[in-house]
Amino acid sequence: MKTPYDIILKPVLSEKAYARFANGEYTFWVHPDATKTEIAGAVEAAFKVKVVRVNTQTVRGKDKRLGRFVGKRPDRKKAVVKVAEGQKIEALEGLI
| Percentage of residues in the chain having pLDDT higher than 90 | 91
Q: Which tens digit of pLDDT belongs to each residue from 29-66?
A: 999 999 999 999 999 999 999 999 999 999 999 999 99
What CATH architecture does domain 2-85 belong to?
2-Layer Sandwich (3.30)
Q: How confident is the model at residue 95 (pLDDT cuts 50, 70, 90)?
A: confident
Read off the pLDDT band of 28 (50, 70, 90). very high
Adjacent-strand bridge partners of 66: 69
Task: Give yes or no for a contact between 62 and 72, defined as CB atoms under 8 angstroms apart.
Answer: yes
Q: Where are the beta strands (DSSP E) in the chain?
A: 8-11, 25-30, 51-59, 63-66, 69-72, 76-83
In a 10 Å sphere around its CB, with 0-12 CB exposed, 13-18 middle and 19+ buried, how is residue 54 labelled? buried
Contact 77, 30 (CB under 8 A): yes
